[in-house]
Every structure is written in structure tokens, then in C-alpha cells.
Structure 1
Amino acid sequence: MAVTLNFIPPFEPGIFAFLAARAVTGVEEASWNRYARTLQLPSGHGWFELVWDGTSLLLEYDVEDPRDSDVLLQCVRQLFNLDHDPVSADAAVSKDPVLAPRVEALPGIRLPGCTDPAEILIRAMVGQQITVAAARTQLNQLTVLATPSRLPHGTMTHFFPTPPQIATGAALILRGPKRRIESIMAVAAQLADGTLSIGPHDSPESLATKLLPISGIGPWTVGYVSMRVLGNGDVFLPTDAAVRNGYGLLRGDTLALARTIKVGELSKMAEPLRPWRSYATMHLWRAAGEGPKAPQRARPAHSPGSERHLGV
């Protein structure tokens, strides 16, 4: 089946690169203008592939049961934030003079959503305090636990592991501090037995109430999950190293100087951008990923040089 998806323009395709950097081998395929993955749907298996051709979003998909077509289409729309109003968000983020040129250059930036809330929570916990590349390596290794798809497509042969599969077999695969692994295993077990359930029915407040008491989950993880599971457009993560570095680099700092920016300064900067701070976060993450660009302000000799160890 092939369809063209409607969206509110403009559409900035950087969301494809965001998903590509995190794509799990065997489950997803992605590039700068294409994303595909397997899906376990209510009535059977499926897959989709979305391509941006510069003007249109072209979706191809297959499902075992035609009743799942509408569910799949809604999953894609949520994942790519296609019902978002980019004009309003861009106008709000442009209130910051540092971000305004960025918004002008990249209008219509999108907020990545998700196809499965439990998957996003596990991904977020695996990725805490390590790089995107390191997290992706661990997630790739977890696919040995996963269910094979009855509708394989290209290299996509399996689904992302379910909470019961992770709770049963991930302890010997995950790497890192023992406490972190224990937290991931505990959350997977709670998701598996139903004592923990998260989804679009939650509010940011109910999500925080459920997750913050859990050992190993802090405000950064709750904010990230709120952004991706709820489509929360007003998440700002001032303790995130990439947010900090991105803001400093955009205003012309050296990377060393950017690393001295305080959490309070970032929070104050973002306050006027409500209720669209998630889109500022996306701009800053992207700027941090692009790295330093000359010319930059030299770091003052008296500036403190300690690096914060923050969630990335």
C-alpha cells in the first residue's frame, strides 16, 4: 500500500537524521530522508517506510490484517509530528535572539514521537549518561531477544524486544554500572506485569508521578519520555549537556566556554518560549551535533573549566 501523507507546512526533514542516529539494526532502517521499521499491531505484524522527496511525504506499508491500517497510519503521524503547527512554534522560539536565525534557516522542525511508549522508556534508560552511539550498540545487542517478523522487509526482520523479553534476558547483555542495569530490568519487569503503564492517556504530571519514584529515573528521563510519548511541546532540559553546548555554540562560544553555562541561565532563556520549549530543545540538540563553527568567542581566562556530567 502506498499513500501520500498530509502535514502542516513547512516541513524540516531533520527528524529523519534524528531517528537514523538511533536506528536499531534489524528493526529499523533510516537515512537523511527515509525511515522504515517493523511494527507489532493489534491484529498482526506490519512494517512501513516513509520517504521525504523534498515536497511530499510518501508512505509505503504492509500489514497482515487490513484492520491495522488506520493504527499504523496514526503511529506514523505521531512519530513524525505531522499534526504539529510549525508556524506557531517557530514564532515562539524565534523570540530568543540566539535561536531566531536558526529557526529562519530551519523552519518547521519536528518533534520525534514514538510507536510504542514502553520501547521509548527502555531506550531512554539505556541511553542515560552514555552517548547515542553507545546506546545504539547496546540496543542492537538486545535484538537477539526479539520476536521475528512474519512480514520481513529489507533488513528489518525483527521487532524491538518487548518488556517481558527484556525482563527475562537482558541482564546478561546490558553493559554499564550494576545499579543502572538493575533499574532497567526492574522497569522492564513492571511494564511486563502491568504494575507500570505509560501512554498517550498520561499527562506530563501523571507521567512524572509514575516515573520519578523509580530508582534510576530522574527528571531528564521523564522529560524525554514526555516529549516523545506524549508529544509534549513544552519540554526543556537545562541539565542536558547537548542543550547547553548547542546554546553556547549558537551564540558564538567556544565549546569550552559553552560548557560553563549554568542551568539557571538556560532555564531563564527558555522561559519566554513557552509553550513550545521542546522545539527549542530540538534546535539546540541539532546545533550541538553539528559541532563548533568559527568564528567563536574565546574563553575568558578566569572562567571555570569543570565539565558537568549530564544526561545526553
Structure 2
Amino acid sequence: MLVGMRLSTFSERLSFQSPLCPDNLFGHLIATAVPGVEEWRDGVYRRTLRLPCGFGIASLKPFPDHVACTLELSDPRDSATALDLCRFLLDLDADPLVVDAALSADPLLAPLVSAAPGRRVPRTVDGAEFAIRAVLGQQVSTKAARTHAARLVAAYGTPVGDLFSFPLAFDVGELAVPESRRRTMAALLGALESGLDLSPGADRAVAREWLLSLPGFGPWTVETILMRSLGDDDAFLPTDLGIRLAAEALGLPTTPAALLRRSEAWRPWRAYAVQHLWATGDHEVNRIPA
């Protein structure tokens, strides 16, 4: 807990290979932000970090040639880990020239890539947290998912400065969700307690198999977790409504099986194709608030 504690503050310029399109990157994080854990204030995205030696808060602001990063840490030994998490969150180690060239080889995707080169995949700083949030978001709107998560944070979150750390343990019986969703959440929490690793360095095949074995975990939820938590560049969501609507507008197949076959041409960068397809829709995740 950081309340009342003296914090160590660090500032760094996070570099990246240009170009970088910040619209969907920060737009997605802002639109899905959990109140109390994340916020967008004065052009800066802030969120809490769970770290090996304590907790922290990261403040991130995009510029044309770097991302300004300020860290507030309870233990300065966590600085290197915190910086790595921020880079992973924003996918700053991607090579957009390689990704964009590969996707542009498809004439249907080429105009999207040309219009917004350097799209990154918005990720997470905590794989377990994201998996819990993914379950809370099953079959509900973005707004409803944020509301469920905010209630969880208010009841179980750990204060970190003026924010809270997202809880990884709680009574699933108190969730205002259908009983089937409670069973899914209980299974996930049990798997995490038993060693399910959803960190960036985890074995993706093992994580995929374990997640698919849990009740209520279909391909959409599993692939979303692999994309955002484990950094799988080739994760793909053929059943996603936004993806299917974009596919229809572009003249791509719209049935999941046919779209999955068509997506083979985008390997191993299908997670980036997802970002371009999502961006064809008019949704707040695709833009940074004014």
C-alpha cells in the first residue's frame, strides 16, 4: 500500500520505431479504463502497477517521437520491471515497418495500413487482471464491463496513492453477474491460484490449452487474453462482431470459419490486422478524447 508512504519518482522517455499510431493504442486503454485503477487526465494515461517488490503508478503521455513515462514506486528496485511493463503495454518494441509491409501485401488491408501506419496492439501490465476483466466483459457492453470492474475495485482494491490496485482475489458470490459467469470466474481464479501463467513470457500453447479447458472460456475470450496478456502477435478473433462487420464492409468473408481461413494470409501479424479492422468502426476505442 502506498498511502502515506514516500514514493520514488522516475521519469523516462520511452523510445519506439516510427511510425506509431496512438489513436487506437491510447484510445482503447482510455475507453476500457477501470475507474479507480486507470484514468485519463490532462492528456496523460495513468494506471497502477503490481510489481515484485511493491506497487506503483505509471503516467504515460504520447509524443511524435517518444512516450513520456513517469513512475511513482514504493520500491525503486522495481524501476526496470515497471519500465518493461509500460513498453509491453504500449507494444513499443514492435517493428511497424515489418508488420505494415506484411499486411499491405493484402490489397484489401493495404488502404487501412496506408491510412494509419504504425498501429500497435494495446496490451496490459497484468495478465491475471486482464483475464478477470475479460470474464467480467463477456456478453456485456464496454460500459457495463467497466461498471462491474469498478465495483470489484471499490470492494477489494488496494489503495495505491490516489488510485487502487486491481484485486486478484475476491468472493465471486458478490458479483452482480449470472450464475454461469460466477462459475467461470471461480474456475479462472482457481486456475490462477494453481499456477496458470498469463505473463508475457509464458508458454502460449500451455496457456491456451488451460484456458480452453475452463468452463465459459470460448475462443474469443482465450484469443483476447493471448493477444493482450501474453503478447501473441498472431491472435485472431473471427467471431468478434466488430471484425465481422469490418470484413463485410471490405468484401472479406464474414463467417468465422471462412474468415479464419482468409486470415492465414496475415500470419504472423493477425493481432495487428485485428486493430486495423476494428478501426473501421466508429467506436471510442479508436480515438483519443479531445
- After TM superposition, the score normalised by the length of structure 2 is 0.88
Other-structure match for 2:26 = 16
Other-structure match for 1:273 = 266
Query: CA separation in 1, counterparts of 2:104 and 2:59?
Result: 33
Residues 1:161 and 2:167 aligned together: yes
Change (3 A) 1:117 1:150: closer
- Kept in 2: contact 1:227–1:278 (CA 8 A): yes
Other-structure match for 2:187 = 186
Query: CA separation in 2, counterparts of 1:55 and 1:197?
Result: 34
Other-structure match for 2:159 = 149
Other-structure match for 1:7 = 16
Other-structure match for 1:298 = none
Superposed displacement of residue 219, structure 1: 1.4
Task: For structure 1, list consecutive stretches of 5 or more residues without a partner in the other structure.
Answer: 252-257, 292-312
Residues 1:29 and 2:39 aligned together: yes
After the TM superposition, which residues 95-106 of structure 1 pair with which residues of structure 2 at under 5 Å, given as runs?
Answer: 95-106=105-116
- Kept in 1: contact 2:127–2:229 (CA 8 A): yes
Query: CA separation in 1, counterparts of 2:50 and 2:213?
Result: 30
Query: CA separation in 2, counterparts of 1:241 and 1:147?
Result: 32
Deviations 1:144-192 (A, max 9, x none): 233333433xxxx211112x2x2x2x422332x311222112312332x
Query: CA separation in 2, counterparts of 1:101 and 1:223?
Result: 26
- Kept in 2: contact 1:249–1:288 (CA 8 A): no
Query: CA separation in 2, counterparts of 1:32 and 1:135?
Result: 24
- Kept in 2: contact 1:121–1:225 (CA 8 A): yes
- After TM superposition, the score normalised by the length of structure 1 is 0.82
1:173 maps to which of 161, 172, 175: 175
Query: CA separation in 2, counterparts of 1:120 and 1:82?
Result: 19
Q: Secondary structure at the match of 2:281?
A: helix
- Kept in 2: contact 1:37–1:47 (CA 8 A): yes
- Kept in 2: contact 1:2–1:58 (CA 8 A): yes
Query: CA separation in 2, counterparts of 1:11 and 1:33?
Result: 17
After the TM superposition, which residues 201-240 of structure 1 pair with which residues of structure 2 at under 5 Å, given as runs?
Answer: 201-240=201-240
Deviations 1:71-100 (A, max 9, x none): 110010010001001111111111222221
Change (3 A) 1:174 1:188: farther
Superposed displacement of residue 65, structure 1: 1.1
Query: CA separation in 2, counterparts of 1:133 and 1:96?
Result: 34
Query: CA separation in 1, counterparts of 2:201 and 2:214?
Result: 20
Other-structure match for 1:38 = 48
Higher relative contact order (CA 8 A, sep 6+): 2
Which structure is larger by alpha-carbon Rg, 1 or 2?
A: 1
Superposed displacement of residue 283, structure 1: 1.0
- Kept in 2: contact 1:16–1:33 (CA 8 A): no
Query: CA separation in 2, counterparts of 1:108 and 1:32?
Result: 24
Change (3 A) 1:31 1:13: farther
Other-structure match for 2:6 = none
